[in-house]
A and B are shown apart, each in its own frame.
Chain A
Amino acid sequence: MDLKTIFFNILELNKELDIIEDDNEILLEINKENYERVLFILIIRFIYEIEASSYRLLSTKKRLYIIRLLILLENLYLGNITLNNAIHEYINILVRYALILRENSLKFKDLEKWKKLQTKIQNIILSLH
């Protein structure tokens, strides 16, 4: 896996989903190849977004997403999971979230914006292989 490409693609999807606006800190860490910290920041920003987006998610789903992300943080920090597996798990959660937004968010009812989102998801999946 080319981690730099994967993280750039993930960052693009995050921006499209409005999870991340200011990407300076993340770009800095990607360039330093400090990928564990990049993933940490991405997970934390994702938790904040889910916490704030109660209008987009049912509270039960919101809790489940947050639990999965917290477990991922735990496993990553304690070394119970490899970075590659952690990236896969993170992408699974992120893509699932993106698909929910397709149903719930006004932004992605717009076909052009949905196609743009779809392309970014495909880019991530392609960069994994």
Chain B
Amino acid sequence: MAYQNKAIYEELLRISMTLDLIPAEKDVNELKDYIKKENYEKALYKMILYLLRALNETNIVEDVTKVIYIDKLIDLLDQFYKEPKNIEILTKDFINILLRYIRHLKSNAFIKGNKELWEILNDRVEDLELLL
């Protein structure tokens, strides 16, 4: 169960924090707690919602692309209410969307203008890819 590896969720959390997706310190702590307790399902659900929230708030991603991301994330959320659900596959799908979103940001002035941020993010993405 490679995708249920704690290290992957910790890396996903780090990436979410680097992207400033998590609204408050208490949410970071809650996520850390879920990961510590190996409650990956709840951790994943929260991270999907935070990416959705960021997409809702950003002006960086144009509307058409935004709708595609939102659609994909909402489809993922929907899977949480259906049985049987496969957290491994859901995590894999979330990582795909997140990495695509990061690549999107990379081609955008937001990250181009912030070399340091991009380098940190790049390292974290590489770390995540090594874990997969």
Residues of A within 8 A of B (CB): 36-37, 40, 44, 47-48, 51, 63, 66-67, 70, 73-74, 77-78
Chain B nearest CB, measured from A122 CB (Å): 30
Among B70, B77, B78, the residue within 8 A (CB) of A51 is B70
Q: Is the CB of B81 within 8 A of A37?
A: yes
Among B6-14, B52-60, B100-108, B117-125, the one that faces the other chain is: B52-60
- A73–B53 alpha-carbon span in the complex (Å): 11
With a CB–CB cut-off of 8 A, which chain B residues contact A74? 45-46, 49
Chain B nearest CB, measured from A83 CB (Å): 14
Residues of B within 8 A of A (CB): 42, 45-46, 49, 52-53, 56-57, 67, 70, 74, 77-78, 80-81
Among B52, B67, B81, the residue within 8 A (CB) of A70 is B52
Pairs A–B under 8 Å by Cβ, sample size 22 = A37-B81, A40-B77, A44-B74, A44-B77, A47-B74, A63-B56, A63-B57, A66-B53, A66-B56, A67-B53, A67-B56, A67-B57, A70-B53, A70-B56, A73-B49, A73-B77, A74-B45, A74-B46, A74-B49, A77-B42, A77-B45, A77-B80
Q: Is the CB of A70 within 8 A of B49?
A: yes
- A48–B49 alpha-carbon span in the complex (Å): 15
Interface SS of chain A: helix, strand, loop or mixed?
A: helix
* Extra pairs beyond A51-B67, A67-B53, A67-B57 (13, CB < 8 Å): A47-B70, A48-B74, A63-B56, A63-B57, A66-B56, A70-B52, A70-B56, A73-B49, A74-B45, A74-B49, A77-B42, A77-B45, A78-B42
Q: Which residue of B lies closest to A62 (CB)?
A: B56
- A44–B72 alpha-carbon span in the complex (Å): 12
With a CB–CB cut-off of 8 A, which chain B residues contact A73? 49, 77
Q: Is the CB of A40 within 8 A of B81?
A: yes
With a CB–CB cut-off of 8 A, which chain B residues contact A66? 53, 56
Chain B nearest CB, measured from A64 CB (Å): 10
